[in-house]
Amino acid sequence: MVLAAIALLIIALSTYYTSNLVSQFAQEERNQVRNWADAVERRASLMRYQENFFVALRQQERQRVELLAKTYQKVLFGSLEEELTFYLEIISNNTSIPVIIVDKDGNIIERQNVDKRFNGETRFEGELKESFSEYSPIPISDTKQLLYYKESIIFSELKRVLDDLVSSFLTDIASNASNVPVIITDSTFTNVLQYGNLEIPPLADSLFWQQQIALMKTENLPIEIQFLDYGKTFIFYKSSPMLLRIQFFPLVQIAVIGLFLLIAYLLFSYARRAEQNQVWAGMAKETAHQIGTPLSSLMAWIELLKMEENAFTGVEEMEKDISRLEMIAERFSKIGSTPVLEPVDMVRLLEDTVNYLRPRTSKKVQYILDFPLNERVILPLNESLFQWVIENLCKNAIDAMNGQGTITLSLKTEGNTVNLDVSDTGKGMHKSAIKQAFEPGYTSKKRGWGLGLTLAKRIVKDYHKGQIFVKSSIINEGTTLRIVLHKKG
């Protein structure tokens, strides 16, 4: 008990220390994830500012183009010389916005800041028209002329830089140094734009992504960002796999320690059982040897007495008792070594055992064989040892009945299994006694050794690979013990 208490104390202290250490690691991991999320929020704010800047810049470009359209209108329809000079100056100052003025038939009237590839084009069609189709044209008054434009060269360069920043931003978020699992989606939560630090199965479908997004949403609120090209996007994230592994570490440690203790206990039990078996075997062999020496002498004396002319009538009974002692010595000898199992008719063995016990027990004890005597039930048995088991069970039953009552032996075959029930009409057993019935040294008798049922269990379980247990017991009504054997040993 003291050793068990010390072991439990060591386990408790180790588990407490490990749990405390794991809690600190887990808190640091959570702080790292939180810091990463805060950094993403700050970068997202910067990206929002840049996006807003480009939206404002685009609106200003539109206003500049509309101003150009009005200026061209003034130039085309004539104005005062001073005004014309002013308008021409506005047009000449446009060095960044590509514009093309087209008549109703698609002929190019004027162009400015257009790619040199299209300098020789006179018709507004094909690739040229496609490159100017991003924005709706601006009509120039009632002339049915249209002013086409596209993003300025400066704006296009800035937008290209912004696109690179956005792409780099999304990539950095997905493959972050904190190993935070991340999924970036559009506003519908169905189109995955980027992901990182996730174990993706080969056949990942939309259901898999929805499950992952739902899991992340329950753990952390998504970060919302607005992009020009992507529109409204959401960044979903959760704790890193390391945090999850750290959280389960104390349980794994307890399981490993428990497994170690279980293996240690099994090894200790096996060693103790092996030691007990050696003690049993040694005692049995020594008992057989000690009995055998005087027994041989007694058998010789019996033979001498039988040779006398006036031999008394008790010689035959003495010879039976000496034969009985010889059989007991043989049984002890077999218990001390590995017995040989041979095919034996169980019906005949039970009948012979009961016939042996009847004249040696009180006439108030009745034996009932509850099975057909002409039936044959062949089992691999050591006949001498198994007879000993039946004798021990019957003698215990006689003691429980105080020398009067009924002992019933029932034999039933179920497939490859044979069940033998030994029932008595004795005083029965309490539940506490049933649990200890087969323990060495346990007995309800004043002068008993408590070895009868222990020997029976050893013979049935260890030598015949069967089972023996208390099937039922009712106080003042009786007890039934069952032996389960297999036809194939």
Residue 456: inside a domain:
yes
pLDDT average, residue stretch 240-257: 73
Residue 84, domain member (yes or no)? no
Q: How far apart are CA 169 and CA 44, in angstroms?
A: 9
Q: With beta carbons less than 8 A apart as the criterion, state whether 381 and 341 touch.
A: yes
Identify the band that residue 280 occupies on the pLDDT scale cut at 50, 70 and 90. Answer: low
pLDDT at residue 350, rounded to an integer? 94
Residue 457 has pLDDT above 70, yes or no: yes
Domain of 349: which CATH number?
3.30.565.10
Ranking 4-13, 249-258, 378-387, 440-449 by mean pLDDT, the lowest is 440-449
- Find the domain containing 456 and state its range: 341-486
pLDDT at 484: 95
Q: How confident is the model at residue 385 (pLDDT cuts 50, 70, 90)?
A: confident
Q: pLDDT tens digits, residue range 198-224?
A: 778 777 788 888 888 888 888 788 887
Count Cβ atoms below 10 Å from residue 76 Cβ, excluding itself.
16
Instruction: Summarize the confidence of residues 115-126 as an average pLDDT.
Output: 84
225 close to 44: Cβ distance less than 8 angstroms: yes
- Pairing, β 365-370 against β 378-381: unpaired
Better-predicted residue by pLDDT, 354 or 79: 354
DSSP state of 371: S
Q: How far apart are CA 266 and CA 248, in angstroms?
A: 27
Specify if 174 maps to a domain.
no
Considering its fold, how many domains does the chain have in total?
A: 1
CB-facing half-sphere around the CA of 384: CA atoms within 13 A? 14
Residue 222's Cα: distance from chain center in Å?
31
Q: How confident is the model at residue 439 (pLDDT cuts 50, 70, 90)?
A: confident
- State yes or no: pLDDT of 485 exceeds 60: yes
In a domain, 408, yes or no: yes
Q: What pLDDT does 121 receive?
A: 84
Please report which helix (H) or strand (E) contains residue 77, including its range: none
Q: With cut-offs at 50, 70 and 90, classify the pLDDT of residue 164.
A: confident
- Give me the pLDDT at residue 366, please: 94
Q: Is residue 299 part of a domain?
A: no
In a domain, 379, yes or no: yes
Q: How confident is the model at residue 150 (pLDDT cuts 50, 70, 90)?
A: confident
Q: Is the pLDDT of residue 178 over 80?
A: no
Sheet with 192-196: strands ordered across? 192-196, 182-186, 231-237, 223-227
Which of 315-324, 350-359, 383-392 comes out lowest in average pLDDT? Answer: 315-324
Specify the pLDDT at position 279.
66
Q: How far apart are CA 106 and CA 8, in angstroms?
A: 93
Q: Which two tokens stand for residue 36?
A: 């990463």
**440 falls within a domain:** yes
pTM exceeds 0.85: no
Chain-centroid distance, C-alpha 23:
23
Domain presence at residue 223: no
pLDDT at 80 over 60: no
Q: Report pLDDT for 472.
A: 92
- Per-residue model confidence as pLDDT tens digits over 181-200: 888 888 888 888 878 777 78
DSSP 8-state secondary structure symbol assigned to residue 123: B
Quickly state the pLDDT bin for 81 (edges 50, 70, 90).
low
Q: What is the pLDDT of residues 33-61, one digit of tens each?
A: 666 667 666 776 776 777 777 777 777 77
